[in-house]
Amino acid sequence: MTNTKQIWINFVQQLQDAICAALEQCDGKATFKEDKWERPEGGGGKTRVIANGNVFEKGGVNTSIVFGEVTPLMRQQLKIDGHSWFACGLSLVIHPINPFVPTVHCNYRMFELYNEAGEVMDRWFGGGTDLTPYYLIDEDAIHFHQTYKDACDKSDPSFFPSFKKHCDDYFVNTHRGNERRGIGGIFYDYQRVGDNKPVEFWINLAKDCGYAFMDAYVPIVEKRKHTPYNDAHKHWQEIRRGRYVEFNLVHDRGTIFGLKTNGRIESILMSLPPTVRFEYNYQPIAGSEEDKLLQACLQPKEWV
């Protein structure tokens, strides 16, 4: 195994451990249960799921190391060429109970393509973390974006504005008048070695952003997890979770690819929220706190 591969795998697995430990401490009751799974065509993963905690209603922090031959479907859907491939990444989605604690998603991955001799033909990095609040608290939105700006700035000050825009442009329910899933964060993809950017550069970016999760998200949870809420707040959270389901099942490239290519279904769909509501033509009252969140999803804002 190449050194790069091993460095990346170590990073991903250590990040999984660190995030799970931080979230368990934050929850104070539930712990992650691990399912190790194998992929018949090559590789496997560790799915870690938390449920029915003090703070977290449902969540997963998954890693996978998968590889195989490039299939015709991959050629067509991923627009890639080559003989074989390797992918390794971490993916998490956390759905808290309290509607004042936002849902969060993150994903950091490396993809390698090989020729018939097994030499690396291409390699790229992707990743990002985005926040899906149910109620907009400006202070939390600013803290979240500032943390990722600081993390990105260590690598390149031009990254944050461009990754923020990429995130706002990707997590969109186009079928709902371009309503975003949440208030964004950062998202980057297809980042390759080149110019003054050796492989270590991209691994360091992923490390900085990956570990920033603890600083970006955990303090928001700590600050909001005891906020009192009522049935109306929960109702709104479940309506918004419906939009999360719509995005993940209709638009998310990773989910759709997994579903169409016989991925491990329970690991892919662990991202879906625990309880969800779909009501015909539900509209929040203009000017309400619910509407304020909706407007922020319709018109992304520069938080920092």
Residue 105: active-site member: yes
Q: How far is the CB of 120 from a second copy (least distance, A)?
A: 31
Footprint of a second copy on residues 74-103 (CB under 8 A)?
none
Choosing from 276, 284, 289, 295, the residue that interacts with a second copy (CB under 8 A) is 276
Query: What span, in angstroms and rounded, lies between the C-alpha atoms of 41 and 66?
Result: 8
Number of residues that bind a second copy (CB under 8 A): 31
Say if residues 303 and 141 touch (Cβ distance below 8 Å): yes
Count of Cβ atoms closer than 10 Å to residue 93 Cβ = 21
Residue 197 interacts with a second copy (CB under 8 A)? Answer: no
Instruction: Give, as one character, the DSSP assignment of residue 125.
Output: E
Nearer to a second copy by Cβ, of 24 and 35: the residue is 35
Choosing from 242, 257, 295, 304, the residue that interacts with a second copy (CB under 8 A) is 242
The piece of 113-121, 145-153, 192-200, 275-283 that touches a second copy (CB under 8 A) is 275-283
Q: How far is the CB of 245 from a second copy (least distance, A)?
A: 6
What is the helix (H) or strand (E) element at residue 187, kind and residue range?
strand 184-191
Choosing from 49, 70, 78, 120, the residue that interacts with a second copy (CB under 8 A) is 49
Nearer to a second copy by Cβ, of 82 and 258: the residue is 258
Residue 158 interacts with a second copy (CB under 8 A)? Answer: no
Nearer to a second copy by Cβ, of 112 and 179: the residue is 179
The piece of 106-114, 152-160, 209-217, 253-261 that touches a second copy (CB under 8 A) is 253-261
At 36, which amino acid appears? K
Residue 211 C-beta-side C-alpha neighbours within 13 Å: 10
Choosing from 272, 284, 289, 291, the residue that interacts with a second copy (CB under 8 A) is 272
Residue 279 interacts with a second copy (CB under 8 A)? Answer: yes
The piece of 112-120, 195-203, 214-222, 248-256 that touches a second copy (CB under 8 A) is 248-256
- Identify the burial level of 299 via C-beta atoms within 10 angstroms of its C-beta, where 0-12 means exposed, 13-18 middle and 19 or more buried: exposed
Choosing from 17, 115, 142, 278, the residue that interacts with a second copy (CB under 8 A) is 278
Cα dihedral 277, 300, 208, 64 sign: positive
Name the active-site residue from 95, 105, 143, 233: 105
Task: For residue 19, give the nearest of 246, 213, 176, 286 by alpha carbon.
Answer: 213
Query: What span, in angstroms and rounded, lies between the C-alpha atoms of 102 and 144?
Result: 11
Write the DSSP assignment of 24-79 as a string of letters.
HHHHSS---EEEEEE-TTSEEEEEEEEES-SSEEEEEEEEEEEEEEPPHHHHHHT-
Close Cβ partners of 230 (under 8 Å, ≥ 6 residues apart): none
**Residues of this chain that bind a second copy (CB under 8 A):** 35, 49, 51, 58, 60, 175-176, 238, 242, 245-246, 249-250, 256, 259-260, 262, 265-266, 269-270, 272-281
What residues are annotated to the active site? 105
